[in-house]
Amino acid sequence: MLRTFTIEKLKNLDLTQKLAIAIPVLFILSCLTKRYIERFRFSTEFRWVYEYGNFGTLILCIFLVFFSFANSILVLRDLKIKLLPKFLWFLLSLSVFLYVAIALIIAIFRQGLIFG
């Protein structure tokens, strides 16, 4: 009963809502993958796993940051629902972009590049 309820709910979501869920999930999975493949860094036989995996997850993370911003704009523009749920979907979609932007701002302030 519960499983069919959630599957039916997912089928009724708009594409931008599905992407708003997928973007943070993929970002978390790519970060976990990047952390896991660090184990192959010093291996002589499997160094290629680290090299290709590190590059692939970096590209995926960068893509997801830009796609998070773009999908957030689409959520605001195209989603035809009430204001509060629309704002929550917007925040979910923008979460990856906000995470990276806040991390960059903190890093810049810690280095003393601004107001230093």
Q: Each residue of 57-92: b (16+ CB within 10 Å) or e? A: beebbeebbebbbebbebbeeebeeeeeeeeebbeb
Residue 109's pLDDT band (boundaries 50, 70, 90)?
confident
* pLDDT beyond 60 at 116: no
Tell me the pLDDT tens digit for each residue of 42-85: 989 999 999 999 999 999 999 999 999 999 999 999 988 898 99
Residue 18's pLDDT band (boundaries 50, 70, 90)?
very high
Contacts of 34 (CB under 8 A, 6+ apart): 53, 54, 57, 58, 61
| Per-chain mean pLDDT for the chain | 90
